[in-house]
Amino acid sequence: MTRRSADAPVEGVQPRYRPYTAKTSEPWEELAHDRARCPVARNTELDAVQVTTYEGVKEVLSGHQTWSSALGNIWPLKEPLPPEEQVLGWTDPPRHTRQRKLLVKALSASRIQNMRPFSERFTDDLVDELADRGSFEMYDDFAARMAAGHICELLGIPEGERDAYARAAQRMEELVTGTMDGQAEGGYNSELNEWLEHLGGMIRAKRAAGPGSDDLITQLSFAQVDGDYFDVGEIARVIQLLNVAGIGTTIGAIGNTAYLLDRYPEQKARFLSDPEGLARSLAAESLRFEGPISGLWRTCTKPTRLGDLDVRPGEKAFAVISAGNHDPLVFDRPDEFIIERDWANLPTDLPFGQGIHFCVGMNLARLEIQVAAAKLYSRLPDLRVRPGFEPALFPGAVLRRFQTLEMVFDAPALPRTT
């Protein structure tokens, strides 16, 4: 492919991307401008180096030796968290290496694929509950329950405790969302500490029961790296991060998918002709076109040259994943929503990061998006965004997700297949 714009980067051109003061539902023109004219540039609104090409985003997200995550990846910190609070996306090797070893096998593609029968039954149950209502709010009534239910199944939460656990996990996701991009923290720290203590109690109970179960908490409780068990506090923080990441991003991805189908009726009609067969491709295109994470933060650790810019140690960088996913050097007709792209010959990984911080929950997220779309639209084929409803985006640079999304349907739900 060749870049559609013949413009070369121009020294001194200022980025047009303004995610804090002028965030739009269709930022593709301003991102195309920045990608063509100033692909690596200091953005005064972000107070950071903004990166907008696919290759540039990959370079920053995968270059952990130069671009540190210890000062935050979903909001920038002035100082690293205390060592005992550093988990996965908030830390660097060697601590990150230990934690990732703990999770890679537990969240393998084969393990998540074995969850598909549960996923299909559980999603049908949710649709059954909504079937007679004629309308529902996508996030609270469906997507959040979908995501929390899968986390409960993965962790092995007992059936009688799942509703309470899901509510608590969703509350933590809401608090994290509320603290992103410099918003007020409220009671985040006190509630987080209470939640971590609760998780610690669950971990101690699993250890007392022995290693006989294959649920994730048990696996984490008895896993060893280099001959050592992980302490209870570190495991609790890993589980907390899985809760927040596994719920928040999945909520956004499911909602974005529904909105895009409504926004592009020809693509929706094509999907409705074969929901089961096209669910995988739809999920990939939705994540590319309108993923729930618009970008991630990194901090420079040593003098480096990025594009045509010299970056100093301590400077922040913001890798705009949304811009990379719309790069015409990688994707043909990048600003069009096309659910039947040739994914065998296209990358599908940028929405999940790069390098050592590549999302370990990728397989679960894809499963949930695919099953949610297939079940919702095969059983509620006239499902649509409420006419006249104008969804508002969450503010800030990181999230690409609406605050609410009102859905309606007319016909009774078609029979379930599980």
pLDDT band at 1 (very low <50, low <70, confident <90, very high): very low
Cα(417)–Cα(171) distance, rounded to whole angstroms? Answer: 32
pLDDT digits (tens, 9 = 90+) for 176-231: 766 655 444 545 677 778 888 989 999 999 999 999 888 999 988 888 777 778 88
- Over the chain, what is the mean pLDDT? 89
Calculate ∠ Cα 21-24-25, nearest 5°: 155
Contact, 400 vs 256, CB < 8 A?
yes
Q: What is the dihedral of CA 236, 241, 244, 249, to 10 degrees?
A: -160
Evaluate whether residue 115 is within a structural domain: yes
pLDDT for the residue 9: 58
Contact, 340 vs 278, CB < 8 A?
yes
pLDDT for the residue 356: 86
Contact, 298 vs 61, CB < 8 A?
yes
Residue ranges of E strands in 186-275 = 224-225, 228-229
Cα(244)–Cα(172) distance, rounded to whole angstroms? Answer: 7
Q: What is the CATH number of the domain that holds 304?
A: 1.10.630.10
Is the pLDDT at 7 greater than 70? The verdict is no
Segment 386-413 shows an average pLDDT of: 93
Structural domain for 370, as ranges: 28-142+245-408
Structural domain count of the chain: 1
Evaluate whether residue 152 is within a structural domain: no
CA atoms within 13 A on the CB side of 336: 10
Cα(327)–Cα(335) distance, rounded to whole angstroms? Answer: 9
pLDDT for the residue 3: 39
* DSSP H or E stretch at residue 298: strand 295-300
The DSSP output letter for 328 is T
Is the pLDDT at 10 greater than 70? The verdict is no
Is the pLDDT at 5 greater than 60? The verdict is no
pLDDT for the residue 118: 96
Evaluate whether residue 283 is within a structural domain: yes
pLDDT for the residue 174: 74
Cα(283)–Cα(368) distance, rounded to whole angstroms? Answer: 9
Evaluate whether residue 157 is within a structural domain: no
Query: 265-272 and 362-379 are packed helices; what angle lies between their axes, rounded to 10 degrees?
Result: 90
Cα(338)–Cα(334) distance, rounded to whole angstroms? Answer: 9
Please report where in the chains the tokens 């006239």 appear, as a residue. 382
Segment 262-287 shows an average pLDDT of: 97
pLDDT for the residue 340: 97
Contact, 401 vs 256, CB < 8 A?
yes
Is the pLDDT at 402 greater than 50? The verdict is yes
pLDDT for the residue 240: 87
The DSSP output letter for 37 is H
Evaluate whether residue 9 is within a structural domain: no
pLDDT digits (tens, 9 = 90+) for 99-126: 888 787 778 888 899 999 999 999 999 9
pLDDT for the residue 255: 97
Evaluate whether residue 383 is within a structural domain: yes
Evaluate whether residue 321 is within a structural domain: yes
Evaluate whether residue 388 is within a structural domain: yes
Classified as helix, coil or strand, 76 is: coil
Q: Which residues pair with 49 in a beta bridge?
A: 42, 317
Classified as helix, coil or strand, 336 is: coil
* DSSP H or E stretch at residue 305: strand 304-306
pLDDT for the residue 179: 60
What's this model's pTM, rounded to 2 decimal places? 0.92
Classified as helix, coil or strand, 414 is: coil
pLDDT for the residue 281: 97
Residue 135 CA, distance from chain mean position:
26
pLDDT digits (tens, 9 = 90+) for 281-313: 999 999 999 999 999 999 999 999 999 999 999
